[in-house]
A and B are shown apart, each in its own frame.
Chain A
């Protein structure tokens, strides 16, 4: 079936109002998940509608390629500070990620621990709900408590509440210089202690990762050149008791690799993301008996690779946090559920909200529960 590709927000609204069967919402048109559903592509809803570097704000239609936004910001020395990951290498998919897809999945990279998640930079949304109505919430200003914050609710809703048509984002200056310190460590427990020590310092670490295969705890420091030199010096002094410290070259490539889980690319098996309290990371991830691990967010995010079809949640048992399937075949995703099951109390609320926003059950059925 040919995907539907509305040209304007109004067309999209009309289309949704007339839908009789459930649909999948597709951003970049790159999805690998097959399904019985017709597709609505957002790619034609494209373009940056406002960019004010002096106010740190950008507004774009949801189908705008992420690459276009990155390039526009780059020209003014700014960027999306939450560092959305590029899933293509990990998933072996192609095409252009869209800003709508990034927002819908609340995708944030290593800077999450210091700058915040995608949802923290989301200032406003426009979307089409399940009745085919155009709704707006929030706006283009940084401080806004006017009414309920549906902006947060739409961010990370994976297209299950509505089709985003436009998003406003807070942007930030791109740092002048980036440096990476690497601390040689032998085990995950020590690695997390190194990362926590750094994150407890006043030196504004913006990346804190651990690659067990390389035996390295990695710390990123960003800012003006003089300030970066000063802070890396202070951190080196504080951390030398843990192991040998070196400065790594090629910071941009290195952190893009962590953001995209690069060590997992081209490796067989299922890939999961675990969100935990950093201090629990070593112990909880050990229960997984994973083939490969990668820690980000000071230990708060653990990437795991396990044999195909593994029920990772069963291996982990009870822990505080959640585990998400990122790469697995459709059968596994269907059997285990992409997201950690919710408690009954939370599930009552989320099902209630879905029934209100999408009363006819049209959008991305089964994707979130």
Chain B
């Protein structure tokens, strides 16, 4: 993966920079020993690594502001970092950058149940936000599978989703306000506990901007009361197309499940061997979950089952107990681990219109033959967000490159079928060079114009999102 050449000038000023930073940060918040900066060399896209010049771990908005002001002044690139679980290389450093990690900023600042919001520092992990409001039976809805580890900071930067977003939306639909430090050190407050912006929806464009517009230090998040209960039904089909039709018929019937998850044969088998969830051996498996009181759940599931029966399922199992529900979900939730037992894998994240499901799965099957690499599919079927998992052998020369080429073909296919490159993981470095497949030069220019306004010097995470050759004139002009 190509990255911009580190600036020798910046590298040569390392000790002067450390000296300046130590005037605003405690000693132990500045990490400059190469043995220790290694800890920040990559995120969850581990194929790419590069230790940063420095890492800093501020513990307040003021310290973040001081650090950015100094880096701005010194023309030093900065890469913000939450928990480092990005699958797109969003937090990958350059050799001449300062990693600004917000992990120490993990306080809850305010909880207000009557007005249904929580304000937190963004280093707080996703799951611990829900943890903070659980005693009143509230929760924070976006639930990425990485929720135990990932931080709200990264969730906002990537506009992360989760299994339940068909009903509750993704991060952007649950974010009410932010405190953000601009690259020049100035602090802006956007949004808050009230709804909607008086002027332009800046919050909307900040969410999902992959750490390129500013460093978000505090967030006001919407919290919701937990439903009385939830229960899944599992169904198996011997044809992908039929399973896709079943999803569409459920949605058309007026029921809005909280989750509709899809798995294909390879994943079903891998998960079954790994988790022993009692999955049937078939072509397509659906897990459909609904919420409410017992009677409400019974009613919705009976309607869903009635629809499923019209599609000749090979298996139809309504959960009868909490244990059974957990077991049904266990298989799905261990999908990544299960595939990891088979081999190394690369997880893709394209979205397609639900109606294109059969075509896309057929074509992925053909590509799998062409590239000689097996692929399993798990899929948030309600919203078309696919996660093809390509198996490869990292120790075999050329296999990673082959796998990446295969992945690129799948993502282009998603775009060509009316979808997009990434549904929730973000572009990062991983999908950067495919952006031109989805967007015209003018489309990309409109996006980069936003960065011009927020970060005129292009110092914040500048090597991400846009193809390097496309962003080069701006990065160079700003130098």
Contact = CB atoms under 8 A, between A and B. Distances in A.
Contacts of A152: 172, 201, 203-205, 207
A282 to B, nearest CB: 12
Contacts of A339: 198-199
Interface in A326-362: 339-340, 342-343, 345-346, 349-350, 352-353, 356-357
Given A120-B173, A279-B115, A150 B251 contact: no
Interface in B440-469: 440, 442-444, 446-447, 449-454, 465
B172 A349 contact: no
A251 interface: no
Interface string B405-436: 00000000000001111111111000100010
Contact of A350 (B199, B293, B353, B438): B199
Interface in A30-63: 52-57
A352 B227 CA distance: 43
A55 B254 contact: no
A253 interface: no
Contacts of A148: 205, 208-209, 447, 450-451, 465
A217 to B, nearest CB: 15
A277 B115 contact: yes
Given A196-B115, A227-B299, A146 B431 contact: yes
A141 B450 contact: no
Interface in B98-117: 112-116
Contacts, number: 253
Contacts of B427: 145-147
Interface residues of B, number: 93
Given A145-B159, A202-B137, A278-B115, A345 B194 contact: no
Given A116-B169, A150-B446, A200-B113, A300 B195 contact: yes
Interface in B54-70: none
Best-surrounded residue of A161, A301, A353 (most CB of chain B within 10 A) = A353
Contact of B422 (A120, A137, A145): A145
B333 interface: no
Interface in A268-323: 275-279, 297, 300-301, 320-322
Contacts of A193: 114
Interface string B154-184: 0000110100011001101100000000100
Interface in A139-167: 139-153, 155-157, 160-161
Contact of A54 (B137, B248, B452): B248
Best-surrounded residue of A137, A149, A345 (most CB of chain B within 10 A) = A149
Contacts of A67: none
A368 B201 CA distance: 12
Given A54-B354, A112-B195, 5 more contacts: A54-B249, A147-B447, A149-B204, A275-B195, A322-B197
A350 B202 contact: yes
Contacts of A92: none
A273 B361 CA distance: 49
25 contacts: A53-B251, A117-B196, A120-B173, A141-B385, A142-B166, A143-B424, A145-B159, A145-B424, A147-B435, A148-B208, A150-B205, A157-B201, A173-B256, A174-B254, A201-B225, A202-B225, A202-B227, A277-B192, A277-B194, A279-B112, A342-B199, A343-B189, A349-B188, A352-B453, A353-B450
B419 to A, nearest CB: 5
Interface stretch (A19-27, A128-136, A240-248, A256-264): A128-136
A312 to B, nearest CB: 13
Given A146-B431, A224-B299, A349 B173 contact: no
B419 A141 contact: yes
A129 B450 CA distance: 14
B295 interface: yes
Which 9 residue pairs across A and B have the least CB separation, nearest first? A152-B204, A54-B248, A143-B423, A322-B198, A352-B453, A173-B254, A321-B194, A356-B449, A142-B383
Contacts of B254: 77, 173-174, 176
A120 B207 CA distance: 13
Given A196-B115, A202-B225, A349-B202, A150 B439 contact: no
Contact of A143 (B296, B384, B465): B384
Given A135-B446, A275-B198, A55 B353 contact: yes
B247 to A, nearest CB: 8
B383 A224 contact: no
A64 interface: no
Contact of A139 (B193, B418, B431): B418
A172 interface: yes
Nearest to A127: B446
Interface string A68-111: 00000000110000000000000000000000000000101000
A66 interface: no
Interface of A: 52-57, 76-77, 106, 108, 112-113, 116-117, 119-120, 129, 133-137, 139-153, 155-157, 160-161, 172-174, 176, 193, 196, 199-202, 223-224, 226-227, 230, 275-279, 297, 300-301, 320-322, 324, 339-340, 342-343, 345-346, 349-350, 352-353, 356-357, 368-369
A301 B195 contact: yes
B380 interface: yes
B228 interface: yes
A155 B197 CA distance: 11
A144 B208 CA distance: 10
Contacts of B165: 143
Contacts of B205: 148-150, 152-153
Contacts of A349: 188, 202, 453-454
Contacts of B190: 346
Given A172-B256, A279-B115, A143 B446 contact: no
Nearest to B454: A349
A353 B194 contact: no
A49 B442 CA distance: 23
A238 B200 CA distance: 39
Nearest to A122: B204
Best-surrounded residue of A152, A223, A321, A346 (most CB of chain B within 10 A) = A152
A144 B138 CA distance: 27
Contacts of B419: 139, 141
A141 B354 CA distance: 8
Contacts of A153: 200-202, 204-205, 450
B300 interface: yes
Contacts of A278: 114-115
Nearest to A274: B194
B473 to A, nearest CB: 15
Contacts of B208: 145, 148-149
Contacts of B209: 148-149
A353 B137 contact: no
Nearest to A116: B173
B341 interface: no
Contacts of A320: 192-194
Given A106-B196, A276-B194, A320-B193, A137 B426 contact: no
B159 A134 contact: no
Contacts of A117: 195-196
A137 B446 contact: yes
A342 B423 contact: no
